[in-house]
Amino acid sequence: MRILVDMDDVLAETCKKFEEIWKEKHPDLICIPAEQQPFYYFTDCYPKEYAPLIEEIRMSKGIFLSLKPTEGGLEAITEMKSKGHEVFICSSPLTGHETCASEKYQWVRHYLGKEWEKKTLLVPDKTVVSGNILIDDKPEITGIAVPSWEHIFYDRPYNRHITNKRRLTWDNWREVLKL
């Protein structure tokens, strides 16, 4: 089985890092905790006038390299691979971010080792990647192709309103995937 696993907010804690930086840079402004984020995009969670402040954080050099791993995620994909599954990290680079792609590869090398760099696919359109399963937190994944994979949600507050797809966490992934 070929399993594709998203990086941001699936293997790496992007929302928590944003929250941490936001509190540090803007302690006087409202802050939505990562575990309560109502929408996938940060800009949809805050007043429109905060958009430039949000963009400054999102586009900052080093942010992707500084992400902490999601608890249990690295162990889960390592176990999937050890059971004979083809496992790829499948992530979309942030358009316009000068170092996003290289930082994501560096993050993978740091936390999983050099061999996982070859198993990392950075693509703007995940629908063109072939697989059986895509584990991703994004509520809707669209692109130019009809996906070959089943989209299984990595459980996050902003995707819980969708109930017609399987969802998992790194605590229950074996039961959900039946592996």
100-120 residue pLDDT tens: 999 999 999 999 999 999 999
Residue 77: which of 16, 133, 158, 159 has the closest Cα? 133
Rounded distance, CA 92 to CA 98, Å? 14
Helix (H), strand (E), coil (C) string for 1-12: CEEEECCECCCE
What the chain holds in terms of domains, given with CATH numbers, is 2-13+66-177 (3.40.50.1000), 14-58 (no CATH)
Token digits for 77? Answer: 């994909």
The confidence score (pLDDT) of residue 38 equals 96
User: Any catalytic annotation for residue 8?
Assistant: yes
3-24 residue pLDDT tens: 999 999 999 999 999 999 999 9
User: Any catalytic annotation for residue 6?
Assistant: yes
From the candidates 8, 9, 136, 137, give the one annotated as an active-site residue: 8
The confidence score (pLDDT) of residue 4 equals 98
Query: How much is the pTM?
Result: 0.96
117-143 residue pLDDT tens: 999 999 999 999 999 999 999 999 999
Rounded distance, CA 158 to CA 42, Å? 11
Q: What is the mean pLDDT of residues 133-154?
A: 97
Q: Which residue has the tokens 């605590």?
A: 171
